[in-house]
Chain A
């Protein structure tokens, strides 16, 4: 039969507001985490990463928080702009593995209202 794509969680925010996107990861052994932004018809674009020996990392307008106790990641975007509208994926990786295989989460659609 016809397969139906997953319905993406959607976060709708006003331009200028702060956005918080959440992600639960699956493997307690994962020790490296990345947030990717994917615009329509394009490949995933690196935003920010964090290693498991940290619980917070800041970039330009973005902050990633890591809570290993509950296997939770969040991405905070300050002063959200229309150009931030995209699907955001978290990805986890086991740093001690043989490769850099990434396990992606489901994704969240961020819709910025002007």
Chain B
């Protein structure tokens, strides 16, 4: 069964450092997302991406965050200067379409980011 894959599974970084979280969405999907989950809290939307541009972003997704699809398979989330409060589980998701049947989003296993 096709799945969304994320690397690394766990990333520890010093405050102020840049991190890049990587995702390989399902191959025929066109819409890509990043969500985050602070420990013990609910999953929060960060950003959606379609046709090589951001289609929607939340207030969490400030200038320190950026996303990129550098090639035909990878989808990355970059945090330029990490803060302690960026520590969370980051989930990548992809979906085949929007506003149509079968718009289910498939989630990856997540990357646990720990900022120290």
Residues of A within 8 A of B (CB): 3, 5-8, 32, 34, 36, 41-46, 49, 89, 91, 93, 95-107
- Report the separation of the CA atoms of residues A6 and B109 in the bound assembly, to the nearest whole angstrom: 22
A44–B106 alpha-carbon span in the complex (Å):
8
Which chain B residues border A100 with CB–CB below 8 Å? 31, 33, 48, 95, 98, 103, 105
Candidates B38, B48, B109, B110; contact of A101 at CB < 8 Å: B48
- Looking at the assembled complex, report how far the CB atom of B31 sits from the nearest CB atom of chain A, in whole angstroms: 6
- Beyond A43-B93, A89-B43, A98-B55: 19 further Cβ-contacts under 8 Å? A3-B85, A5-B39, A6-B42, A32-B103, A41-B110, A42-B109, A43-B4, A43-B109, A45-B107, A46-B105, A49-B104, A91-B43, A93-B103, A99-B31, A99-B48, A99-B55, A100-B95, A101-B48, A102-B43
Question: Known contacts A44-B107, A96-B99, A99-B56; is A104 also within 8 Å of B42 by CB?
Answer: yes
- What does DSSP make chain A's interface, helix, strand, loop or mixed? loop
Q: Is B65 an interface residue (CB 8 A)?
A: no
Q: What are the residues of chain A within 8 A of B109 when measuring CB–CB?
A: 41-43
Bound complex: CA A7 to CA B45 (Å): 20
Q: Interface residues, chain B, CB within 8 Å of chain A?
A: 4, 31, 33, 35, 38-45, 48, 50, 55-56, 85, 91, 93, 95, 98-99, 103-110
List 16 contacting pairs A-B, 8 Å CB cutoff, sorted by A: A6-B41, A8-B40, A43-B93, A43-B109, A93-B103, A95-B103, A97-B98, A98-B98, A99-B33, A99-B50, A99-B55, A101-B33, A101-B48, A102-B43, A102-B45, A104-B43
Inter-chain contacts of B35 with A (CB < 8 A): 102
List chain A residues, Cβ under 8 A from B95: 100
B91 proximity list for chain A (CB < 8 A): 43-44
Set of chain A residues within 8 Å of B55, measured between Cβ atoms: 98-99
Interface centre among B93, B98, B106 (most CB of A within 10 A): B98
Hey, which chain A residues are within 8 Å of B33, CB to CB? 99-101
